[in-house]
Structure 1
Amino acid sequence: MTGSVPWQERLSAGTEAVQDDVISWYRNTREGRAYLPDMIWGTLQTEAYATVILGQVVEFLGTPNDVPAGVAKRMRRQQVLYDGEHHYDVVLGEQALYTNIGGPEVMRGQIERLIDEASLPSLRLGILSSTARVGLFPVHGFNIYGTGNDARAHVELVSSSMDVTEPGELALYEKAFALLRTAAVHGAGAETLLRKAHAHWSSAPARE
Structure 2
Amino acid sequence: MTSSVPWQERLSAGTEAVQDEVIRWYQEMPEGQAYVPTMMWGTLQTEAYATVILGQVVDFLGVPDDVPAGVAKRMQRQQVLYDGEHHYDVVLGEQALYTNIGGPEVMREQMDRILRDIGLPSLTLGIIPATAPVDMLPVHAFNLHGDEVHVELVSSGLNVTEPAELGLYREAFSRLSDAALYGAAAEDLLQKARSFWGGARRG
- The structure 1 segments of at least 4 consecutive aligned residues displaced by more than 4 Å after TM superposition are none
User: 1:42 maps to which residue?
Assistant: 42
Give the residue type in structure 1 aligned to 2:171. Answer: K
Rounded to whole Å, the distance in 2 between the matches of 1:128 and 1:154 is: 21
Report the number of matched residues. Answer: 203
For the residue of structure 2 that corresponds to 1:89, the secondary structure is strand
Rounded to whole Å, the distance in 1 between the matches of 2:14 and 2:181 is: 37
User: 2:151 maps to which residue?
Assistant: 155
What is the TM-score when the length of structure 1 is the normalising length?
Answer: 0.97
Give the residue type in structure 1 aligned to 2:148. Answer: R
Give the residue type in structure 1 aligned to 2:10. Answer: R
CA deviation digits over 1:72-115, x for unaligned, max 9? Answer: 00000000000000000000000000000000000000000000
CA deviation digits over 1:122-168, x for unaligned, max 9? Answer: 0000001001111111000000012xxxx111000000000000000
User: 1:56 maps to which residue?
Assistant: 56
User: 1:100 maps to which residue?
Assistant: 100
Give the residue type in structure 1 aligned to 2:130. Answer: S
Gaps of 5+ in 2: none
User: 2:201 maps to which residue?
Assistant: 205
User: 1:29 maps to which residue?
Assistant: 29
Gaps of 5+ in 1: none
For the residue of structure 2 that corresponds to 1:4, the secondary structure is strand
Identity among equivalent positions (%) equals 69
Alpha-carbon RMSD across the aligned residues, in angstroms, is 0.4
Which one of 147, 162, 167 corresponds to residue 166 of structure 1? 162
CA deviation digits over 1:43-68, x for unaligned, max 9? Answer: 00000000000000000000000000
Rounded to whole Å, the distance in 1 between the matches of 2:66 and 2:84 is: 31
